[in-house]
Structure 1
Amino acid sequence: MARTTPHDHSPVPGPPLYWRIATRLLDELHDGGIPPGERLPSERKLAERLGVSRETVRQALEVLRRDGLVATDRRGSHATLPGPAVRSPASLTFPVGARATDPGGAVDRATVTWETPPPEHAEALGLDPHRPTLVHRYESAGADGRGRRTAVTSFSAVAVSEVEELARYRDRADGAATAQLRRAYDWMRKAGLTLHHRDSITPLADAPSVRVRRRVHDQYARPLEITDLLVDAQQEALVYEFTLPSAG
C-alpha cells in the first residue's frame, strides 16, 4: 500500500502566545479598560476570559512587570501605567479642594505615610490615640506660587481593611514617593460602600484663609476618612461643584 505524506501544518513563525496576550493586556491599559491603580482580575479569570492557560497569563504578566506596567504584591497585580485616572461623572474629588489636572498651571504633590494621625482625626475615626493609619498629604500652588492649598486626610481602619486599593499603599507609605489617590472614592464605592459626606467651611481668624473639613462615612455610619483642607483664599474663590445623576 502506498504511503501518504501528511501535509506540513507547522505554525507560522510569529511572537509566542504569552507575548500576544501581554500585548492585548497592554492595549486594555492604554484604553483605560484597566485604569491606573486598579487591581487586575485574577490569573484564573484572565485565563478564562482570554481563552488561554494560567501559565500563559502568568508569563504575559511577567512581561508587563519587567516593563514597569504592572506591579504585583500579596493582594494581586495592579496597573501602574501612567495616565489620567478614570472617574465617573458623579464622583467626588479626592481630596476635597484638589484642583483639576493642569500641566501648565498648578503644581501638585501628594504622598502617603503610615503614622499616628492628628488627635482630632483619631477621635473622629474611632481610633486609639496612638494607633497608626494611612495618612495622605496633598499640596498645591498656582504657577505663581499663590493660591496655596494643603490637605491632610486620615483613613479609618474600616477603609484600609475593606478597600483593597488603599490597603496596597500600607507597604509603601514612606512619605517619599508620589501617591495619587484621586480615585479613592471610586475605590470605596467599588468595595460596596455607600458614601455620605459632610463638608464644613470655617474662616480662620487673622488670616486670609479658610479651613474645609470633610467627614465621610458609609451606609452603616462607620467613619471612612476625615480631611482638613487649608486654602489661601486671598486671591481666589473656593468653588464646590456637584453632579447628581438623573432619577431616570
Structure 2
Amino acid sequence: MARTTPHDRPRTRARAEGGPLYWKVAARLLDELRDGTIPPGERLPAERQLAVHFGVSRETVRQALEVLRRDGLVATDRRGSHAALTGPPVAAPVRLTFPVGARSGDPDACDRTAVAWETPPPEHAAALGLAAHRPTLVHHYRSTAADGSDLRTAVTSFSPVALAEVAELARYRDRADGSDGAQLRRAYDWMRRAGLTLHHRDSITRLPDGPSVRVTRRVRDQYARLLEITDLLVDARQDALVYEFTLPAAV
C-alpha cells in the first residue's frame, strides 16, 4: 500500500506553489502515489493516459515525472515508470467501497459520478450543522439501466469535520467542479487511515408514491461526530439492495 517519508511531500508541494504547471502536476501525482491510488512498485499509467487524467500535455507530464524522479519518488526502468516512495508501509485498509450499496447488480448498468463544492440538500445541511447556503463537498452518483432509466442515485454531503480530518477529501475542494468521472471510492479507507473509527447507521424507508426505497446513511466517528450523510434511492422493482461489510480479524 502507500508509503510515505517525512520530507517527500513538503519539497514537491513547496515548489508547486506559484511554480510552473509541471510542478503542480508533480504535486498532484505525488498525492495519488501517497494515498495508495498507485501502490509502491506498481507501474504508472502511460504518459498519454496521465496527460488525459490531469488535462495537460504529454510534455508537461514528462517534466512532472522528471521532478519526482529527481526526488527519488518515481523510478524508471525498461518496464516503464513506477512508484518508489520509501518509509514504513501503511497497513492494508479494510476495503469498503464508497458509497456502500450504490453499485447496481445489473452488469449492463452505466455508473456516473461527480464531486462538487456546493450547497448541500437542506436536510443534509441541517444534519451537518451547516449554516444556510454554506457549501461543502457533495458527491453525486447515478446508475442507469441500458434503457436509460434510473436504477440507483445517491447524494452524499461531507461534514466540516471530515474535511478537516481527512486530507484526501480536503484536497478535492479546489477541483470539485461537478465534472463527470470524479471518484471517491476509497473515501472510507482515507477516513480510517486518518485515525477515524467508522460507525454506519442506515435507515431504509419505502417511498409512498412508487416502488423505490430510500436509504439514509449517517457515518460517525468514535467521538460521535457526523462525517457524512448519504441519501440513496433504489428502484426496488429492478434491483436488490445488498450490503457487504468486511471486518478485520482480531490480532
Assess same fold via TM > 0.5: yes
Is residue 155 of structure 1 aligned with residue 158 of structure 2? yes
1:99 — aligned with what?
A: 103
Question: Who wins on radius of gyration, i.e. which is larger?
Answer: 1
Q: Distance in 2 between matches of 1:71 and 1:240?
A: 38
Q: Distance in 1 between matches of 2:126 and 2:173?
A: 21
**Contact between 2:151 and 2:238, CA under 8 Å: does it hold in 1?**
no
**Contact between 1:117 and 1:154, CA under 8 Å: does it hold in 2?**
yes
Q: Distance in 1 between matches of 2:171 and 2:5?
A: 16
1:206-217 to structure 2, matched below 5 A, reads: 206-217=209-220
**Contact between 2:104 and 2:239, CA under 8 Å: does it hold in 1?**
no
Q: Distance in 1 between matches of 2:180 and 2:221?
A: 29
How far the C-alpha of 1:91 sits from its partner, in A, is: 3.1
Q: 2:142 aligns to what SS in structure 1?
A: strand
Pair 1:171–1:42, CA change in 2 (3 A): farther
Which residue identity does 2:32 align to in structure 1? A
* Residues 168-223 of structure 1 deviation map (CA, whole Å, 9 limit, x = unaligned): 11001111142110000000111111111101111111211000010011111111
**Contact between 1:146 and 1:235, CA under 8 Å: does it hold in 2?**
no
TM-score between the two structures when normalised by the length of structure 2: 0.65
Q: 1:236 aligns to what SS in structure 2?
A: coil
Aligned length: 192
1:52-71 to structure 2, matched below 5 A, reads: 71=26
How far the C-alpha of 1:85 sits from its partner, in A, is: 8.3
2:234 corresponds, among 231, 235, 243, to: 231
Q: Distance in 1 between matches of 2:96 and 2:110?
A: 21
How far the C-alpha of 1:43 sits from its partner, in A, is: 7.8
Pair 1:89–1:165, CA change in 2 (3 A): closer
**Contact between 1:114 and 1:134, CA under 8 Å: does it hold in 2?**
yes
Determine what percentage of the aligned residue pairs are the same residue: 67
* Residues 12-47 of structure 1 deviation map (CA, whole Å, 9 limit, x = unaligned): xxxxxxxxxxxxxxxxxxxxx44xxxxx7468348x
Q: Distance in 2 between matches of 1:238 and 1:109?
A: 19
1:245 corresponds, among 219, 243, 248, to: 248
2:117 — aligned with what?
A: 114
Q: 2:231 aligns to what SS in structure 1?
A: strand
Q: Distance in 2 between matches of 1:77 and 1:130?
A: 34
Which residue identity does 1:99 align to in structure 2? R
2:190 — aligned with what?
A: 187
* Residues 81-103 of structure 1 deviation map (CA, whole Å, 9 limit, x = unaligned): xx98889674333113222799x
Gaps of 5+ in 1: 1-32, 35-39, 47-53, 59-64
Is residue 79 of structure 1 aligned with residue 42 of structure 2? no
2:136 — aligned with what?
A: 133
**Contact between 2:112 and 2:143, CA under 8 Å: does it hold in 1?**
yes
1:218 — aligned with what?
A: 221
Gaps of 5+ in 2: 16-20, 40-90
Q: 2:102 aligns to what SS in structure 1?
A: coil
Which residue identity does 2:100 align to in structure 1? V
**Contact between 2:142 and 2:152, CA under 8 Å: does it hold in 1?**
yes
Q: Distance in 2 between matches of 1:150 and 1:96?
A: 12
TM-score between the two structures when normalised by the length of structure 1: 0.66
